[in-house]
């Protein structure tokens, strides 16, 4: 009778689990098609490395993230090892005398591993409790479900030890292959085997195990099922890969995303995979300077909106949109929480720095979700911050956000004898100056220094002059895809008309856009950032640095040069060769803190604490005499940051200026 009852409970529980999983899978089918099935070997490598081997927890060097990574890895590997023991127990529910002892010498080895990993899981639970009740990090969600899971896991481990200890009571001896269960046997001073006690422990264990199983697809622990597939289907292309919009289709009534079923199935899967660990919030410059934006809540907002609209999706009825004008209520314990509607204000606070995506353990793609939503706001609704009206108009009429006429685009080059492509059609390389270095007085110095470096290195280069247009980066990140599309097409036509093969930029935003996004529109060119090009010139012996600058400096990693383009060492090597003694900021390399200018934020009014002030303070804390960067937008923001605190003794330099100063 007991076996029959156990069988019924098992079938009902497992049946419900698969019913719920199938339901969740059916919701993914409402998402738009997306090809994430190419390059299966690369994808398998991602799934193994970040999922099975748990390397996803060690992407950056951070005390809390690495601590949590060890904790989660212990639980994950513990459950992998304990899975075989659970199978053995389930079979025992039908055949009490069953065991895997027929495996011979392997069985004692497994008993030892099971005992060891059960103990390590207990250690991980203690680590989790210390973290939640002692450290109390802001990034965590302190919901009851998290504590319920910890209770479930603890009960499972303790009942395993207790059942093993009862088995030892049959012989009156400690099994040497189960030292921790043996410790329980001794501590409880179990004198004899109790059939009743064993059955109670067995049923408690199984009820908790099956409750845990059914809780997984109904809680944040859905990531247990979705995280490895999500790592398999990770983006293998450029870090901010976006969906193409077809502006030639006259039947298209709207662009961008309004409702959850307009997202792709992979964007919906991101919500399932989210562990709610809060790492994206921890590293987000907006979330940590008093903004409404919390990257985690963008992903969770999509998931909650999917669940909220599930019945209407199935019934093909009107849906609740993803975005709301309402602001979320403040969370006294941590960051804002959105629910099933994302506040539109949050979308216009993202700098697209990529810190969230870089640290995410399950390969979620926060940026494209926000860009998709902004595309709908800009292209379909025509609703966006008022500050952007003149910016879009400037780009549309004068091909630059400053709104300065193209006739003045080459003013920075007066008296430098810079040739345009019309004057030097066989140029070795085209220098794509960019809007900032063409029109902003501080950034002009970058272009001037770089040109003098090229001239001293006898590089045969040319510029487009009046024919150069904005690369479209700001327009695209702000959701104005149509404006980006037109700018890109015009630039590509110009490049092709002059048979341009090689382009160098002094702006990481232009570098990323020309290199990664123009190719989809037919613009295939070799694109280099000026730090890469200068590094090549040094290696070729065309530039010699005198190593005569004996000063200290700290290097600020531009988001678009570092995280988005993986260029970290070239500018540092150049600065070191020039004679600078570099000191790293706490947030450096892939963990760099954004200056606040990216994603079009340069043109918007920033609420809360200013990001550039935070980053400037981090730089000043190194006691360096200079802040070196390799991005005109970063230079503007950091220079403002230094001036705001009246630290005129600190220099803010671009890597091109560093090279010019040091050239022999």
Q: pLDDT tens digits, residue range 544-583?
A: 998 788 899 999 999 999 999 999 999 999 999 999 999 9
**Percent of the chain with pLDDT strictly greater than 70:** 100
Q: What pLDDT is recorded for position 546?
A: 87
**For 348-396, how does the pLDDT look when each residue is reduced to its tens digit (9 = 90+)?**
999 999 999 999 999 999 999 999 999 999 999 999 999 999 999 999 9
**Percent of the chain with pLDDT strictly greater than 90:** 90
Domain range list for the chain? 2-232, 260-381, 400-539, 552-662
Instruction: Give the DSSP per-residue string, 580-644.
Output: -EE---SS-GGGPPP-S-GGGGGGSPPPSS-HHHHHHHHHHTTT-SEEEES-HHHHHHHHHHHHH
CATH class of segment(s) 552-662: alpha beta
Query: How many residues are recorded in the chain?
Result: 664
**How is the chain split among helix, strand and coil, in percent rounded to 5?**
60, 5, 35
**For 322-353, how does the pLDDT look when each residue is reduced to its tens digit (9 = 90+)?**
999 998 877 766 788 999 999 999 999 999 99
pLDDT band for position 178 (cuts 50, 70, 90): very high
Q: How far apart are CA 175 and CA 580, in angstroms?
A: 63
DSSP assignment letter at 354: -
pLDDT band for position 664 (cuts 50, 70, 90): low
Mean pLDDT of 226-243: 96
Q: How far apart are CA 35 and CA 86, in angstroms?
A: 37
Mean pLDDT of 42-69: 92
Query: Are the CB atoms for 333 and 146 separated by under 8 Å?
Result: no
Asked if 260-381 and 400-539 have one fold, the answer is no
Is the pLDDT reported for residue 606 higher than 70? Answer: yes
Q: What pLDDT is recorded for position 29?
A: 97
Is the pLDDT reported for residue 497 higher than 80? Answer: yes
Query: Are the CB atoms for 585 and 617 separated by under 8 Å?
Result: no
Q: How far apart are CA 190 and CA 177, in angstroms?
A: 18
pTM: 0.94
Question: Would you identify the CATH topology of the domain 260-381?
Answer: Fumarate Reductase Iron-sulfur Protein; Chain B, domain 2 (1.10.1060)
Is the pLDDT reported for residue 141 higher than 90? Answer: no
Q: How far apart are CA 261 and CA 351, in angstroms?
A: 26
**For 417-426, how does the pLDDT look when each residue is reduced to its tens digit (9 = 90+)?**
999 999 999 9
Q: What pLDDT is recorded for position 191?
A: 87
The crossing angle, in degrees rounded to 10, of helices 106-130 and 63-92 is: 140
84 phi, psi to nearest 5 deg: -65, -35
Is the pLDDT reported for residue 460 higher than 80? Answer: yes
Average pLDDT, the chain: 95
Give the residue among 461, 430, 433 at the shortest CA–CA distance from 526: 430
DSSP assignment letter at 529: E
Question: Would you identify the CATH topology of the domain 400-539?
Answer: Rossmann fold (3.40.50)
Query: Are the CB atoms for 475 and 483 separated by under 8 Å?
Result: yes
Q: What pLDDT is recorded for position 2?
A: 86
Q: What pLDDT is recorded for position 384?
A: 96
């Amino acid at each position: 009778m007991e076996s029959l009852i156990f069988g019924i409970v098992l079938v009902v529980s497992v049946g419900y689990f698969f019913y719920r999983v199938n339901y969740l899978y059916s919701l993914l089918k409402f998402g738009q098609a997306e090809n994430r099935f190419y390059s299966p070997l690369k994808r398998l490598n991602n799934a193994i490395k970040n999922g099975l081997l748990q390397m996803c927890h060690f992407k950056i060097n951070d005390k809390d993230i690495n601590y949590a990574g060890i904790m989660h890895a212990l639980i994950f590997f513990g459950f992998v090892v304990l899975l075989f023991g659970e199978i053995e127990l389930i079979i025992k529910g039908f055949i009490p005398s069953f065991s895997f002892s027929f495996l011979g010498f392997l069985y004692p080895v497994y008993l030892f591993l099971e005992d060891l990993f059960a103990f390590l899981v207990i250690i991980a639970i203690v680590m989790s409790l210390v973290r939640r009740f002692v450290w109390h990090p802001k990034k965590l969600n302190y919901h009851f479900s998290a504590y319920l899971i910890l209770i479930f896991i603890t009960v499972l481990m303790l009942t395993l030890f207790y059942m093993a200890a009862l088995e030892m009571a049959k012989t009156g001896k400690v099994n040497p292959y189960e030292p921790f269960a043996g410790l329980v046997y001794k501590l409880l001073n179990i004198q004899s085997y109790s059939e009743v006690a064993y059955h109670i422990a067995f049923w408690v264990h199984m009820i908790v195990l099956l409750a845990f199983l059914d809780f997984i697809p109904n809680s944040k622990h859905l990531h247990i099922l979705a995280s490895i597939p999500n790592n398999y289907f990770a983006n293998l292309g450029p870090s901010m890969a976006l969906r193409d919009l077809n502006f030639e289709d006259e039947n298209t009534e709207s662009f961008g995303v309004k409702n959850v079923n307009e997202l792709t199935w992979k964007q919906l899967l991101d919500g399932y995979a989210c562990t709610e660990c809060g790492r994206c919030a921890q590293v987000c410059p907006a979330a940590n300077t008093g903004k409404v934006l919390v990257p985690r809540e963008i992903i969770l907002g999509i998931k909650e909106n999917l669940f909220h609209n599930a019945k209407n999706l199935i019934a093909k009825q009107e849906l609740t949109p993803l975005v709301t004008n309402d602001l979320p209520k403040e969370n006294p314990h941590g960051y804002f929480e959105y629910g099933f509607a994302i506040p539109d204000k949050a979308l216009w606070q993202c700098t697209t720095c990529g810190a969230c995506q870089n640290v995410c353990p399950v390969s979620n793609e926060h940026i494209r979700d926000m860009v998709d939503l902004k595309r709908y706001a800009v292209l379909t609704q025509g609703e966006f911050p008022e500050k952007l009206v003149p910016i879009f108009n400037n780009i549309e009429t004068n091909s630059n956000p400053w709104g300065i006429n193209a006739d003045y685009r080459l003013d920075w080059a007066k008296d430098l004898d810079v040739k345009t492509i019309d004057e030097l059609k066989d140029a070795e390389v085209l220098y794509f100056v960019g809007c900032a270095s063409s029109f902003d007085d501080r950034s002009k110095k970058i272009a001037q220094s770089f040109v003098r470096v090229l001239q001293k290195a006898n590089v045969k280069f040319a510029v487009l002059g009046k024919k150069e247009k904005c690369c479209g980066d700001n327009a695209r990140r702000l959701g104005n895809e149509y404006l980006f599309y037109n700018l890109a097409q015009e630039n590509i036509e110009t490049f092709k008309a002059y048979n341009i093969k090689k382009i160098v930029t002094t702006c990481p935003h232009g570098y990323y856009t020309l290199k990664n996004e123009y190719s989809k529109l037919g613009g295939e060119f070799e694109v280099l950032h000026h730090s890469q090009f200068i590094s090549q010139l040094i290696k070729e012996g065309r530039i010699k640095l005198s190593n005569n600058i004996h000063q200290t400096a700290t290097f600020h990693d531009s988001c678009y040069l570092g995280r988005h383009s993986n260029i970290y060492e070239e500018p540092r090597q150049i600065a070191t060769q020039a004679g600078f003694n570099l000191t790293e900021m706490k947030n450096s390399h892939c963990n760099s803190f954004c200056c606040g200018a990216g994603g079009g934020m340069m043109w918007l009014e920033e609420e809360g604490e200013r990001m550039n002030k935070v980053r400037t303070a981090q730089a000043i804390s190194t006691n360096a005499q200079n802040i070196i960067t390799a991005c005109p937008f970063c230079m503007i923001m950091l220079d403002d940051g230094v001036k705001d605190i009246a630290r005129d003794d600190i220099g803010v330099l671009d890597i091109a200026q560093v090279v010019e100063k040091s050239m022999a």
